Structure 1
Amino acid sequence: MKKIGKLLLVCAVLLHGVAFGQNATLTASCSKTTVGLNEPFRITFTTNTRKGTITPPSFDKFIVVSGPYQSSQTQIINGRMSSQRSIAYEIVAQEEGVFTLPPAKMKVSGQELESNRLKITVKAGAKRNNRAERKAKESFNVRILASKKSVYVGEPIVLKFRATLFDPVRDLSIIQAPNFENVLQQQLEFKQESTREVVGNKMATVLDFDKRLILPNKPGTLGGQELKISGQVQVPTGRRDFFNMPLTKFVPQVATAKIPAVKIKPLPEGAPEDFQGGVGELKLVREISRKEVSGSESITIKLRVEGAGNFNTLEVPELIQPEGFDVYDPKYNENIRYSERGIRGYKEYEYLLVPQYRGSFIVPEMQWSYFNTRTERYETISIAADTLNVENPALSGVQENSDLEGAVKREVKTIDDDIRYLQDHRFEAEGKSNLYPWTLALLVLAGLLWLWQFAPERRQGQKVNWKKSQLKIVQKAFDAQEEQRYGTMLNALEFALVKKGIHLEQVRLEALENVYDTPTANRILRLIEHCNMAQYAPIAASENVHHLTEFEEVWEQI
């Protein structure tokens, strides 16, 4: 057994030396040196070493239809081992001419190898000698259909890619996407559907395999480009199997299609002064959560543009702010969908208003203009003024004849009828007191208290349940409707999180998920957000019960 093991080791060393001792080479080859326009052919790069990575050249003037395809093999013949690796691409020429393909490169053991260059001739009328290739050429064609022949700037167009298949075809794909300037391009999601029709006295399958939404931003003419679409066509090989059934194979094929010309018209002259570029069938909506507030309540105003239009460039107008309120930075919301009907959805700003004075205040009238593509004219939407009434007795009222343009004047309230004047002379103490003994005693007492905290716990059996005590503090604050009840809740949450090693200023969803499950982490974040918001915008009394219940449920899981 030892002799056999030594013999195998010697053979392995010899084979290794033979395999890697030979000179490494890198060669390039192609299936055809003369090809026709849109005729796929294969470029292969081969090396005889298992080391290094083959870097293909830049395929300028060509389009890669498919690939790379990698293969490797190892052979042992008469005790000699050889290996071979290859990488291949299916490519197609974009124009006629004679082209030289640069060499591929590979680095092996510090040495850089280069392959040979390939000279390829592209002719429009090159003949196909292979019967299978001639049949593949006639197997399918592609048309591009535009939903409209002329549109305005900002009006969408849908391009539909329709293939007519006379033979089985798979893996249809656009290998050269439309390249437009100043255009939004969005591929649409849809379910492919096919129908059987008679085309040129032949039965064919008509398949819509791709749809693109195009939104032009500048006037001019769109289209005229020729795109290339690849597919794998099933063709017979001319041979039969054991049961005398014809054998087939899939070969790559490229078809071309031209984008129809679409005229992009500029918007008409005479746009209103407040026109900001909105195009489509749009609406401007202003929603006010409540128009009368009492107690410590806030108001939410949503300003929304909705409908169908150029939402990619459309801007929501800003709210004309009413006087008498603190208006916080708006929250932005959007829901935009792309479909064959265009771009639909909405964009909105959500404003939070906190009343600062008692009285009636006006939300001014608003006007917003857009271009209606259905009526082909500019239209102006007007929103009437609204009145907000604040009846909070805790707030100051507004003096009459005050337009609130500057600082709003508050009512001057008499604090105490007994106050008549303020003394302006200096106050002198009638006698002198010696505070030194008292100060010394207080310092000694503070020192003893500081040392007491390091003393061992005397009653270890009576451990205080901090969760219950914190919960009782929060419940008591909410039952008594304390002004700082949400601050008390925030302090309790911070106390619990610190025990878990999470500081409040470091609270993130990722940090919470390391300690709690995702639903609990999200509920904790929402509670912290409500507590912070309550410090700036008073919360309605009806929401207190909901927030306290939420806190109690989360507290059980914290």
Structure 2
Amino acid sequence: MLQFFSFLLILFLPISLAADPIEFRISSVEVAINEPLIIEAISKTGSIPKPVRIQFELGSVIAIYSGIQTETKIINFKATSSTILKFTILQSQPGIYTIPPIQVEENGQIYQIPEQKFTVTKKQYQPPSNLLNRFFSGNESQLADDAISETSYVKFHTSKSQIYLGEPVIGYFVFYNKKIRKPFFERNPNESISFPYFTSTLLSGVKINYPEQVDINLNGQIERYFTNPYNREIFALTPIKVGRFHIGKTKFDFTNSQRIHFYTHTIESSPKAIEVLPLPSPAPKSFSGEVGEYEMLIHFPKEAILEGNPWKFNIEIQGLGFCNQFKDPLLLSLPKNFPGKLQSLSVNKNQKFTEIAEQEYGFRCTANFEYSLFLKSNSSSFPFEISFFNPKNGNFQIIKKEFPALTLKRNPNLSKESKQEIIDYSKERSISNLHYSIFIFSFLTTLCFGYFFWKKFKTGRFQKQNEYLLRIQNIAGQKTGILLEKILLDRGFSQEEAKFWVALRKKYVGEKFTNIFSILEPREKELLSKYIEGDLK
């Protein structure tokens, strides 16, 4: 009985053949005549694998490369991504066969599937629907017209249809079909997505829950459609201009099955109309462009402030939104006669996509400002504030806080020599204590790179550099994150180079790549020059 149970497990569960770092998996060890056998080569390293050849043969068995896809799984709130290469075998004669030696290349290494046998029974494969029967009988045009053109479409959805300038929304695609419950579909990698006057960020590890079937009114007639959200690409979109726009126009390729990729059809998505409203005027002086709902907290240590010792504390802003536009609230309000040196140690901002209310999704964010204070004498209290626009009530909100009066305690361990070395910061703003160093560094940097630009221009490289940066900008547009990396890989750039541009887009927000060279750090310029040299060869 135990042996019989083990046989059932082998028969009906997909078989995983481990290879490091490529894992090979077959859909079954037993198929009927002409039933597709699917072999998957799975990589979880983040690199993009590729087949060594399109077709592999072993005797009468032929494995044909049939496509690539990415997959994201969320287990215990941890997201993992993998890239899957798919191969298909169709066998018309019963018997026991061996899978051809399928080979996959990743990072210059070749990985081959371990030897694996499969059985073709004497049963005839019965496709799951009449659509597949028509496909295998050669009526592709009828399949395309009946099953695709007339019964399928893709729509772009957003979490809101009317928003304020600077207010982030969630955008995603949904595939609708009257007859096919689970089609295989993906966005055409050669087509960009139209997001006019919106910045876009591709979210990872996010899934949209959508009803499996919906009723849609088309031309006065209600039809029931199957739905499939496109969870591979979900976007955070932020408007940068007031007006009415249509966003989310692109093209999708799909087939009538998740397992067969011989025939695809292209559909153009229906964009979403969205209205962007202006913010009221005038705005508070402390307003820096943030939209959402926030609160501000001050965290002071319990320790006393000792003469000559740094006293560290932090201010935290948290709430619903992005927190990206908040500027340092304390340094901007510091009195000129403040008796000490206040220095910003770090600024950390992060966002998390989450369910903020029942069936309502958005972002929770935090902005943490950490400070170090050297106090010379007792200080008086002073006010400071932040302001933001609240889209729920349509008004600006100001949060005011009072920085408390501080008392300096004598430090018995501080020597007279150390006291003499304490600098008088009473007339200094902490933001200006490095001006001289920054000026010297900027002057030397300008001289060095002025010479570099002159030399590039003299040798003709300056023009080549501009051409390279223009090509990158035309490909990238306003894309960020995973979306930017993906399109650069699709256009033939190396993974190292694609990650380089993703990092620059994240660091220099709002800057076009055509204007970015002059503001790069020396190490970044060195890497960019290397990529330009490689592009010229």
Please indicate, yes or no, whether the TM-score normalized by the shorter chain is above 0.5.
Answer: no
Normalised TM-score (structure 2): 0.44
| Pair member with larger Rg | 1
